[in-house]
Amino acid sequence: MAETLLSLRGVTKKFTEVEALTEIDLDIHSGEIVGLVGSNGAGKTTLLRLMAGVYSPTTGSVLLSSGRPVQEMRQELGVVPESTGLYSRLTAWENIRYHSRMHGVSDAVAWARTEKFAEHLDMSENLRRHTKGFSRGMKQKTALLRALAHGPNILLLDEPTAGLDITSARTVRALVRQLRNEGGTVIYSTHHLAEAQQVCDRIVIIHNGELRADGSPTELLEGTGTETLEDAYVSLTLDQARPRHEDNDKEGVLSSWWRRLFTPRTPKATMGESTDE
């Protein structure tokens, strides 16, 4: 049986009055692509941030194979958030090198890894270009190279093909499958069932903060008695999806003051006057 690299036990996450995740038990094994599937607001991003050590659980534990909390061993993880967070004044390679140095990886090692994966992503000719003028696809590929350069044991991807053209999306999916074939482990968040079916060995369905299903596409179909993953998903998520509440902490005093100061006020129309332009 494959080694368990990441283990979540009884994980609950609350933001003020909102419970974003409830009693999640989940194991991530070596050499698999695990798809996190759910609607907007289901809790996928909160779950990814807990796995990445960005959040701490309100209750429960998120532990690596060493038994240590994930916050203490972030160098074992590579993370590609939905927003790439690149420094536009730096080149693609400078963004990657800066990130790798923070993980204690030498430039030579980081460059060798970057060159290897850049070739598969058709990015070799763009590594020394500034990211300011990059397309969405090029930024996403740079973020993926940045996450891989320090040699993580687990790669976490939040909507990795969102906003990409068909060719770029296919290239990213192909690289993810290649990483798995080389023994890598990938957690792949998406709200597209078809994409999850193409890429993932195992699918975890999250709905309203709860884990509703966990298994291979075949197991999900057999467990729900359905013929398509879409039908399986619908049968598991019949209750109405809640509004998105992730990261919904109370607004601070300074933030509230700043928002009011710079939010334009709409003048009130006097009686009998039209507000149409």
What local confidence, expressed as pLDDT, does residue 146 receive? 95
Q: Report which of residues 240 and 101 the model is more confident about.
A: 101
Q: 49-59: per-residue pLDDT in tens?
A: 999 999 999 99
What tokens were used for 272? Answer: 């009998």
Domain ranges of the chain: 4-87+152-170+180-262
pLDDT at 248 over 50: no
> What CATH number should be reported for the domain whose range is 4-87+152-170+180-262?
3.40.50.300
Which helix (H) or strand (E) is 180 found in, with range?
helix 166-181
Q: How far apart are CA 33 and CA 41, in angstroms?
A: 22
Q: 63-90: per-residue pLDDT in tens?
A: 998 889 988 888 899 999 888 889 999 9
Give the C-alpha distances (Å, rounded to integers) separating 113 from 74, 97, 116, 181. 19, 11, 5, 17
- Could you give the angle at which helices 92-102 and 136-148 cross, rounded to 10 degrees? 30
Q: How far apart are CA 63 and CA 9, in angstroms?
A: 9
Q: Report which of residues 245 and 115 the model is more confident about.
A: 115
Q: Report which of residues 226 and 260 the model is more confident about.
A: 226
Which helix (H) or strand (E) is 59 found in, with range?
strand 59-64
Percentage above 90 pLDDT, the chain:
66
Q: 118-165: per-residue pLDDT in tens?
A: 998 999 999 999 999 899 889 999 999 999 999 999 999 998 988 888
- Other Cβ atoms less than 10 A from the Cβ of 184: the count is 21
pTM of the model: 0.83
Q: What is the mean pLDDT of residues 90-96?
A: 96
Mean pLDDT of the chain: 87
Q: How far apart are CA 250 and CA 256, in angstroms?
A: 10
> pLDDT band at residue 267, thresholds of 50, 70 and 90?
very low
The alpha carbon of 216 is separated from its chain's Cα centroid by a whole number of angstroms, namely 20
Give me the count of residues in the chain: 277
Min mean pLDDT across 27-31, 69-73, 213-217 is at 69-73
Residue 127 DSSP one-character state: T
